[in-house]
């Protein structure tokens, strides 16, 4: 295979991947929440809704790879050709699809990062002021001693 053909093959694979990503949301919405099902049946239901019926079937392998291996929304059943939703797949379905699930995950990650930043700032402040209680206690003792001895004279 020449270098040009490899580049063209890679470009075609990337186009198939991008096209398969577009079908993840509707496929997740059609998947049953519990129980085993055939992914081909879901694509059949989807192809009746889509104008070009051949598109989902042409991307069957890419969709299967994305949903099972990359995003882990589905897991393979011991029975051939049957799959079922994982917990992650159920969460994505309840969130409204693949894209909404990742938006929620990004928001959660942003909040976690912000919390970590504040925790770090608090830790730094506590480290810098670790001797402050001792200093204030010593000043209070000195002031009380000065007040005690100034009253005696």
Q: CA separation (Å) from 113 to 29, 99, 106, 119, 120?
A: 31, 21, 10, 10, 10
The pLDDT score that the predictor gives to residue 56 is 64
SS3 category, 6: helix
Cα dihedral 140, 141, 146, 149 sign:
positive
pLDDT value for 150: 87
Helices 98-128/87-95 angle, 10° precision? 100
pLDDT at 126: 93
- How large is the average pLDDT for residues 11-36? 84
Residue with the larger pLDDT of the pair 80 and 2 = 80
Q: How far is CA 17 from the centre of its chain?
A: 19
pLDDT given for residue 60 in this prediction: 82
> What is the average pLDDT score of the chain?
85
The tens digit of pLDDT for each residue in 40-88 reads 888 888 776 655 555 666 788 888 888 889 899 999 988 888 999 999 9
Cα(10)–Cα(131) distance, integer angstroms: 62
DSSP character string of 61-92 = HHHHHIIIIIS--EEE-SSTTEEEE-HHHHHH
């Amino acid at each position: 295979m020449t270098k040009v053909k490899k580049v063209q093959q890679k470009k075609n694979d990337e186009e198939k991947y991008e096209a398969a990503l577009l079908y993840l949301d509707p496929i997740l919405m059609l998947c049953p929440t519990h129980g085993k099902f055939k992914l081909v049946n879901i694509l059949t239901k989807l192809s009746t809704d889509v104008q070009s019926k051949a598109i989902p079937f042409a991307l069957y392998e890419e969709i299967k790879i994305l949903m099972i291996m990359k995003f882990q929304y589905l897991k393979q059943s011991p029975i051939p050709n049957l799959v079922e939703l994982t917990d992650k797949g159920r969460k994505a379905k309840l969130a409204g699809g693949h894209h909404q699930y990742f938006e929620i995950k990004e928001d959660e990650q942003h909040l976690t990062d912000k919390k970590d930043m504040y925790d770090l700032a608090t830790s730094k402040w506590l480290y810098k002021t670790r001797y402050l209680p001792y200093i204030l206690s010593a000043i209070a003792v000195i002031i009380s001693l000065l007040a005690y001895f100034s009253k005696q004279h």
